[in-house]
Structure 1
């Protein structure tokens, strides 16, 4: 059994391969994902218990999310992803939970952008320069080849650090002061703040692909309800999974009938629900998280051939 730290977990989850694993998982009828348990903590945070299985692996992610931790110099997310052999029940490895969460979330966004974005090469606007901002920067640069990035954050030091990281990856990067004004120049937009109030209240471009990552509970919101309603009327909304029906704060607070819109799985499988929405722009992709994405990460970290050999050896 292997215990992988943050850097080793990241090395086991290269973005191009992780994007492929996400898409493959959505085509796999053997994947089972029970409802996740979210238990409140006295600090105002939450404990998440998220299981998922297929015919080969069983995973459970145990993480805590405490939104005000960054103000005290601590990461907002702590925890682990435990990976088991689905047949023998043996524990195969333990992955670093925050690293898995960051990388699989960004990989899901890239999988959506590959199918839905009119201009997948960018330029890209990232709103929020935290962990998810960094993960999405790396994923879009390494898996989609984006070369021009703008970064907006209320924390100017974090924005400057992320711009420097983009330059180290070979992309041209700049910091922008006002994200609403920058929307007009960017066909790719990722909002990944932890805000509980509106951050973006301007309309994206007609050809925009917007990935709204930050508001993953009904109480959270990044995009103004009027903007979301306008996209619903004139464009396309896609959610990561049906869990978004009761979790997607941006959509719920806008009064959108979330269940009427397709999931990323519908897009990958080309279902009738998705086909009736094709051709409408802009696209608003709402991601709330799902244990299936953690299972996709586990598939990357525990390759089938190595797994089979381990199983034969007992």
Structure 2
């Protein structure tokens, strides 16, 4: 078994590798749906009976068959909202990868970066098919740990972007993001501007990345461009909301990564569907990410109107990315090799 710490995972897992592995998974899922088993993740709220900020613990199992071998991949996640005050990541996670034929554990790895990259890769894939190819500006709303790779993903698939605008509830977080992103991702030659308010950050954006724990819509339809693409990866519980009803009902297309999970967890869409004053319902959902990747649905990216991608995550996405890392570790002898049992 290869033990892979966060440093090792970061040094091996690239955004292109994650995007490719998820696109392969989605194609496989359409061609051979019986090859991928992904039960709905178990979410246990934490600290609901105390004065601490509540978080959650998640168990996310998945089984993948690639036509030759079958693997079981399990991710365990703990979300700790108070951790930024401790200078610690909000999300902690570990992932195990096993061969189902022998039961051998191939790898046990830090899952924080896997989570960040696979979540970001989903936004990258959505932007690849829904954002204007000549997009020039991206807005980042919510500058926590998830936002770094989400921006990296959009820049990976939208190479014409030259300007990034930032807004964070605490201005210090936006300024930290500006400095650290430039240092950690020197390959991107973009101008980064911190904005004092959300309206200034989103008004000229061609792509908007959202990754917050907001409980109400962050901007309205009259504050954004008529052909903007929005990636919404926060609001992962029914009571949360980042995208306002006016934006959702104005969208020409709304896509989601996991329809079954979204009906229970996608707060933006759940609330829009339930709101008496909102015309959008689940019947208006355009499709899922697999529809775009397999070209079951094609969008004219120059004549598309406003598009929205809502991500809630599914264990199969983590599995596809973690499996690639585990296989690379085995082939190249990465991490610490130990004998189990």
- Same fold by TM (over 0.5)? yes
Q: Distance in 2 between matches of 1:5 and 1:306?
A: 15
Aligned residue in 2 for 1:149: 164
1:40 aligns with 2:45: yes
Deviation at 1:2, TM superposition (A): 1.7
1:118 aligns with 2:132: yes
SS in 2 for 1:58: strand
CA 1:117 to 1:67, structure 2 compared with 1: closer, same or farther past 3 Å? same
Are 2:2 and 2:329, in contact at CA under 8 Å, matched by a contact in 1?
no
Aligned residue in 2 for 1:198: 217
Give deviations 1:170-200, integer Å, cap 9, x for gaps. Answer: 3221111122233221101101112223322
Aligned residue in 1 for 2:268: 250
TM, length-normalised to structure 1: 0.88
- Report matched runs for 1:66-85 at 5 Å: 66-85=80-99
Q: Distance in 1 between matches of 2:179 and 2:155?
A: 14
- Report matched runs for 1:1-314 at 5 Å: 1-28=1-28, 29=32, 30-43=35-48, 44-55=54-65, 56-119=70-133, 121-145=135-159, 146-168=161-183, 169=186, 170-203=189-222, 204-231=224-251, 235-242=252-259, 243-255=261-273, 256-258=280-282, 260-261=284-285, 262-271=287-296, 274=297, 280-303=304-327, 306=330
Further displaced range: 112-121 or 235-244: 112-121
Give deviations 1:262-312, integer Å, cap 9, x for gaps. Answer: 0001111223xx3599854210110111111101211320237946999xx
Are 1:67 and 1:194, in contact at CA under 8 Å, matched by a contact in 2?
no
User: Which stretches in structure 2 are left out of the alignment for 5+ residues?
Assistant: 49-53, 274-279, 335-339
State the structure with bigger RCO (CA 8 A, min sep 6), 1 or 2. 2
Are 2:129 and 2:299, in contact at CA under 8 Å, matched by a contact in 1?
no
CA 1:185 to 1:260, structure 2 compared with 1: closer, same or farther past 3 Å? closer
TM, length-normalised to structure 2: 0.82
Deviation at 1:119, TM superposition (A): 3.7
SS in 2 for 1:54: strand
RMSD (CA atoms): 2.6
Aligned length: 306
Deviation at 1:128, TM superposition (A): 0.7
CA 1:182 to 1:78, structure 2 compared with 1: closer, same or farther past 3 Å? closer
